[in-house]
């Protein structure tokens, strides 16, 4: 009969041993398993302990000393590196600014120093390294003695430290090949007869194979379909276990996809508290400080909906104004773009106080000071509420507990203050894992190799490739890699750990994927040597994938299987919302008659600009969204090149130039060129200051446009010599019985000065002109509407309408004096568009007009949904 983990452990319990397991999790699980299924159906809790607890029974007791821990070690190394230390191997004395980066590494070496001072180990080190090890050991032991501390890593186990109760028991070490350091412990205790090791059973002849998948998505989906089938068959979640050997790649997607497949999981491997909203809040505060209040870091902090902000409207207004004013970077001290460029007193005052709060947080030196400033920040900027997360999550309390741990460590190390203690807190939190206090209602997910010693009726272990499955203990990791593995005292328990996975009582499913974002992966050598690889497990039943069935249903086929409970909820909700035939869907239906007056002003007229007319012609529903619903797209990004602001700057240069010369004389072209370049330089300072918007952008603007802007002089000579520029940024308006029309024209030229009425209208474009010819339809009614406004408001005739492309350095006349047919066509098209618009608004018909051309780039598509597929 094949021996399994259950029979292996139960037989040791039956013999009355105190069983020692590799981990506390394994000890508790097999203890519970024996109580439920063992021969005696009852067992004392102390009959199963972890190896760590077993070893601690033989260590010396320190009544008047506290143990050193990770925090105390980090504080020691930080204080050591801030004083003359004499280290030259681990730290490069030529670059003291890099010392802080090595403090974590040095702190990790401290527990190894006890073994490193053995003569045979010292002999493996180069001379400079021996000196550094000695310096570190002497400084550390002196620090421990001064503060009444001891280093657990220096302790050597011995029977003399064990009490009589320990010596009177019989111990059985289970899964001994999985426990690194076991041999040295038994040897140091003198190999007593009351401690026995029970070797792992033989796993030859196992039916378990390592299944190969092409990628991690396929591996996860196949596993979840198999688990879905088990749950559908009535298997309880407690009988299913999942292990994961590559949590970085797998856990996020596994958790997400399990939620979609309606499979409850309980992740027993936590994640950094900084990945939760309340932990992320702390790291975002630090990013704002580190990035000197850059716009991007301010956006990341102030726009995060996971934080309970009190004044969201003011914060969004601050960012919107910053984008409009091209604020890119703040500062900690001195000149600050937020203060200089916002030009809004209340917002500047809010920013100053906000900045002061963050600087105070990030420069605090004690935990008490940090806590006081953090409380002040929350009282000032947060609503009165608790942090909210998923059920059972209390990350913020976890972070506050970490602050108390740092406070206690500083007190133990006699360190009254620590520069930038907020950074120290974040570094510490980044090394800790937060495990939500969830119930047991769900499938337990354990990390590798902890899952290897566990057992259950259905045990799935994922991502078990060669690299992820390695289990190597390195007690002397400080030694150079060139030193032989044996002399480094490394213990490789990989093969034993893999063998233990094959001893399951029930079904064991092992798998790995060959390709991932990190590259190609190979299977563990053990499975290759024993021919335990398979491309597919034919004997494993799977549920029909509900999402493949959903796609098949949309294509008109018959799905295999049934929808999950979650899918059913989605479909029911969609039928009530997005798929429902709602009365308020004005993209398909006319608006209510009582809304029509809202589209007009107090005199009952439709207010219209060239932009509004073009938008209505393209899609009436888009016009409705913008001008009635007032839906707009906020920009929260300042580009390194702000084309809108550069366009305004170039407009101002041309306005200043043509208003200065008024009449254009070709004889003065060189004089004009010097004037235009001078105005360019003056306006550059006026718009962007002496060094703005930033050095590379300023250099690019000068290189790209300073000389290019003078190309207009040749074009003026070609088209508008001896003409007079009359108006600049001229706002014209005209009112009839239906419309109130208005427009702002960049430049109006009189072609027959001084008192003639033949005009040209010019619209400047920084890039290319939107079009150059009018054929079967008018692409834009901007210039035709300008022609109408000039005729009605100024009593003149526009016989030339041109775009000027600064990029191309040329005029593109849409019509000229000889193009009477084009002018007549544009006039008629404009009247037809106005009549159509008046009729549509008067009848409430503002439905969407979807097409590939009309919907391209439309910001209202998420509201309209005419060119979206529902899945």
Residue 811 to residue 498: CA distance in whole angstroms: 76
Tokens of 222: 């196949």
Residue-level pLDDT at 692: 74
The set of long-range contacts for 412-415, using a CB threshold of 8 Å and a minimum separation of 24, is 412/66, 412/72, 412/147, 412/149, 413/72, 413/75, 413/76, 413/79, 413/143, 413/147, 413/149, 414/146, 414/147, 415/75, 415/79
Q: What is the pLDDT of residues 734-744, one digit of tens each?
A: 999 999 999 99
Q: CB–CB of 18/169 below 8 Å?
A: yes
For residue 870, name the pLDDT band (cuts at 50, 70, 90).
very low
Q: CB–CB of 665/713 below 8 Å?
A: no
Backbone angles phi, psi at 262, to 5 degrees: 65, 45
Residue 380 to residue 27: CA distance in whole angstroms: 49
Residue corresponding to tokens 């979609």: 260
Residue-level pLDDT at 290: 93
Distance of CA 327 to the CA centre of its chain: 23
Kindly tell me if the per-residue pLDDT of 128 is higher than 70: yes
Tokens of 463: 């991502």
DSSP 353-367: HHHHHHHHHHT--SH
Tell me the residue length of the chain: 871
Kindly tell me if the per-residue pLDDT of 343 is higher than 90: no
Kindly tell me if the per-residue pLDDT of 788 is higher than 70: yes
Tokens of 299: 């956006």
Winning range, highest mean pLDDT, from 82-96, 438-452, 518-532, 683-697: 518-532
Tokens of 595: 């809304």
On average, the pLDDT of the chain sits at 89
Residue-level pLDDT at 539: 81
Residue 680 to residue 687: CA distance in whole angstroms: 10
3-state SS, one letter per residue, for 250-283: HHHHHHHHHHHCCCCEEECCCECHHHCHHHHHHH
Taking alpha carbons only, the member of 406, 443, 437, 435 closest to residue 275 is: 435
Tokens of 251: 């856990």
Residue corresponding to tokens 């335990």: 532
Structural Rg of the chain based on CA atoms: 38
DSSP 323-363: HHTT-----SSS--HHHHH---HHHHHHHHHHHHHHHHHHT
Residue 93 to residue 767: CA distance in whole angstroms: 55
Q: CB–CB of 474/180 below 8 Å?
A: no
Q: CB–CB of 75/415 below 8 Å?
A: yes
Question: Who contacts 573 (Cβ-Cβ below 8 Å, separation ≥6)?
Answer: none
Tokens of 630: 């007032």
Residues facing 725 on adjacent strands:
749
Peptide bond into 599 cis (omega under 30): no
Residue corresponding to tokens 């400033």: 373
Q: What is the pLDDT of residues 760-783, one digit of tens each?
A: 999 999 989 999 888 889 999 999
Characterize the bridge pairing of strands 797-805 and 810-815: antiparallel
Taking alpha carbons only, the member of 614, 609, 610 closest to residue 779 is: 614
Q: What is the pLDDT of residues 817-865, one digit of tens each?
A: 989 999 999 999 999 999 999 999 999 999 999 888 888 888 888 788 7
Q: What is the pLDDT of residues 499-546, one digit of tens each?
A: 999 998 889 999 999 988 778 899 999 999 999 999 888 888 898 888
Residue corresponding to tokens 């500047």: 348
Residue-level pLDDT at 467: 93
Residue-level pLDDT at 869: 41
Q: What is the pLDDT of residues 667-724, one digit of tens each?
A: 999 999 999 999 999 999 988 877 777 778 889 999 999 999 999 999 999 999 999 9
The set of long-range contacts for 632-635, using a CB threshold of 8 Å and a minimum separation of 24, is 633/859, 634/316, 634/320, 635/320, 635/323
Tokens of 790: 């000039």
10, 18, 33 from 6: Cα distances, Å:
6, 16, 8
Kindly tell me if the per-residue pLDDT of 793 is higher than 90: yes
Q: What is the pLDDT of residues 459-476, one digit of tens each?
A: 999 999 999 999 999 888
Q: What is the pLDDT of residues 273-291, one digit of tens each?
A: 888 888 899 999 999 999 9
65, 646, 655, 697, 762 from 642: Cα distances, Å:
63, 6, 20, 9, 23
Residue 495 to residue 497: CA distance in whole angstroms: 5
Characterize the bridge pairing of strands 519-520 and 210-215: unpaired
Kindly tell me if the per-residue pLDDT of 99 is higher than 80: no
Residue-level pLDDT at 386: 65
Segment 321-341 shows an average pLDDT of 86
Alpha-carbon dihedral of residues 207, 211, 217, 218, nearest 10 degrees?
-90
Q: What is the pLDDT of residues 16-73, one digit of tens each?
A: 999 999 999 999 999 999 999 999 889 999 999 999 999 999 999 888 899 999 999 9
Residue corresponding to tokens 């094959």: 502
Question: Who contacts 612 (Cβ-Cβ below 8 Å, separation ≥6)?
Answer: 623, 626, 627
Taking alpha carbons only, the member of 828, 615, 840 closest to residue 738 is: 840
H/E run at residue 515: strand 507-516
Higher pLDDT among residues 308 and 787, named by residue: 787
Percent above pLDDT 90 for the chain: 62
Higher pLDDT among residues 665 and 583, named by residue: 665
Residue 540 to residue 239: CA distance in whole angstroms: 17
Residue 169 to residue 353: CA distance in whole angstroms: 66
Kindly tell me if the per-residue pLDDT of 868 is higher than 60: no
Q: CB–CB of 327/287 below 8 Å?
A: no
Residue-level pLDDT at 162: 92
| Secondary structure class of 168 (helix, strand, coil) | coil
- Provide the total of helices (H) and of strands (E) in the chain, helices listed first: 34, 22
| Secondary structure class of 150 (helix, strand, coil) | strand
Residues facing 244 on adjacent strands:
447, 462
Residue 122 to residue 133: CA distance in whole angstroms: 9
Q: Around Cβ 558, how many Cβ atoms within 10 Å?
A: 7
Characterize the bridge pairing of strands 507-516 and 210-215: parallel
């Amino acid at each position: 009969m094949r021996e399994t983990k259950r029979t292996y452990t139960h037989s040791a319990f039956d013999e009355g041993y105190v069983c020692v397991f590799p981990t506390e999790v394994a000890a508790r699980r097999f203890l519970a398993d024996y109580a439920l299924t063992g021969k005696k159906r009852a067992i004392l809790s102390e009959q199963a302990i972890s190896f760590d607890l077993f070893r601690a029974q033989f260590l010396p007791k320190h009544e008047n000393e506290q143990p050193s821990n990770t925090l105390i070690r980090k504080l020691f190394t930080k204080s050591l590196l801030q004083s003359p230390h004499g280290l030259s191997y681990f730290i490069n004395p030529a670059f003291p600014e890099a010392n802080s980066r090595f403090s974590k590494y040095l702190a990790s070496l401290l527990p190894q120093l006890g073994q490193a001072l053995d003569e045979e180990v010292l002999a493996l080190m180069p001379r400079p390294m021996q000196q550094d090890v000695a310096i570190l050991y002497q400084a550390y032991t002196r620090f421990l003695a001064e503060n009444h501390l001891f280093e657990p890593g220096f302790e050597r186990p011995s029977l003399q430290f064990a009490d009589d109760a320990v010596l009177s028991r019989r111990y059985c070490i289970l899964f001994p090949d999985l426990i690194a350091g076991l041999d040295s412990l038994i040897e140091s205790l003198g190999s007593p007869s009351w401690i026995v090791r029970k070797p792992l059973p033989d796993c030859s002849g196992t039916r378990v194979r390592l299944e190969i998948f092409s990628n991690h998505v396929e591996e996860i989906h196949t596993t979840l379909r198999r688990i879905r089938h088990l749950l559908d068959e009535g298997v309880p979640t407690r009988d299913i276990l999942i292990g994961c050997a590559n949590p970085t790649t797998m856990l996020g997607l596994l958790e997400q996809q399990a939620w979609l497949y309606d499979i409850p999981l309980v992740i027993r491997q936590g994640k950094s508290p900084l990945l939760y909203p309340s932990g992320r809040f702390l790291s975002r505060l630090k990013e704002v400080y580190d990035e000197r209040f850059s716009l991007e870091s301010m956006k990341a902090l102030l726009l995060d909906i996971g934080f309970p902000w009190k004044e969201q409207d003011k914060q969004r207004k601050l960012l919107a104004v910053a984008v409009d004013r091209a604020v890119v970077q703040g500062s900690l001290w001195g000149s600050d773009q937020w203060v200089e460029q916002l030009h809004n007193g209340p917002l500047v005052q809010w920013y100053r106080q906000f900045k002061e709060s963050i600087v105070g947080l990030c420069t605090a030196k004690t935990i008490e000071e940090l806590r006081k400033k953090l409380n002040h920040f929350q009282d000032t900027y947060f609503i009165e509420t608790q942090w909210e997360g998923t059920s059972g999550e209390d990350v913020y309390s976890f972070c506050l507990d970490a602050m108390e741990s740092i406070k206690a460590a500083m007190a133990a190390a006699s360190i009254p203050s620590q520069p930038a203690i907020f950074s120290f807190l974040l570094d510490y939190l980044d090394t800790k894992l937060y495990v939500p206090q969830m119930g047991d209602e769900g499938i337990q997910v354990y990390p590798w190799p902890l899952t290897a010693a566990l057992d259950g009726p259905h045990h799935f272990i994922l991502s078990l490739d060669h690299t992820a499955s390695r289990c190597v203990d390195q007690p002397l990791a400080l030694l150079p890699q060139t030193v032989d593995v044996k002399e480094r005292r490394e213990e490789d328990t990989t093969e034993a750990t893999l063998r233990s996975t094959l001893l399951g009582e029930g079904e064991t499913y092992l798998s790995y994927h060959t390709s991932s974002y990190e590259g190609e992966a190979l299977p563990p050598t053990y499975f290759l040597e024993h021919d335990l690889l398979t491309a597919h497990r034919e004997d494993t039943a799977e549920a029909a994938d509900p999402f493949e069935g959903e796609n098949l249903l949309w294509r008109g086929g018959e799905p295999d299987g049934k929808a999950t409970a979650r899918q059913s909820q989605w479909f029911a909700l969609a039928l009530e919302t997005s798929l429902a035939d709602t009365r308020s869907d004005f993209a398909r239906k006319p608006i209510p008659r009582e809304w029509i007056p809202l589209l007009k002003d107090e005199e009952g007229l439709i207010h219209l600009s060239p932009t509004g007319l073009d938008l209505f012609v393209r899609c009436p529903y888009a016009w409705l969204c913008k001008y009635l619903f007032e839906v707009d797209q906020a920009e929260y990004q300042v580009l390194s090149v702000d084309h809108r602001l550069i366009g305004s700057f170039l407009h101002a240069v041309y306005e200043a130039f043509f208003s200065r010369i008024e009449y254009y004389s070709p004889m003065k072209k060189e004089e004009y060129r010097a004037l235009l370049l001078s105005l360019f330089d003056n306006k550059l300072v006026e718009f962007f200051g002496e060094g703005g918007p930033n050095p590379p952008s300023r250099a690019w603007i000068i290189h790209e446009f300073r000389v290019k802007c003078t190309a207009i002089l040749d074009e003026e000579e070609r088209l508008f010599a001896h003409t007079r520029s009359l108006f600049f940024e001229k706002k014209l308006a005209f009112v009839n019985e239906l419309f109130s029309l208005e427009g702002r024209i960049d430049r109006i030229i009189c072609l027959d000065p001084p008192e003639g009425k033949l005009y040209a209208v010019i619209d400047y474009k920084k890039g290319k002109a939107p079009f150059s010819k009018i054929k079967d339809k008018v692409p834009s009614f901007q210039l035709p509407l300008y022609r109408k406004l000039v005729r009605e408001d100024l009593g003149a005739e526009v016989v030339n309408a041109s775009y000027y492309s600064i990029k191309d350095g040329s005029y593109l006349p849409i019509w000229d004096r000889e193009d009477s047919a084009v002018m007549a066509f544009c006039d008629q098209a404009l009247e037809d568009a106005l009549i159509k618009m008046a009729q549509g608004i008067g009848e409430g018909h503002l439905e969407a007009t979807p097409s590939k051309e009309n919907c391209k780039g439309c910001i209202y598509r998420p509201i309209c949904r005419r060119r979206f597929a529902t899945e």
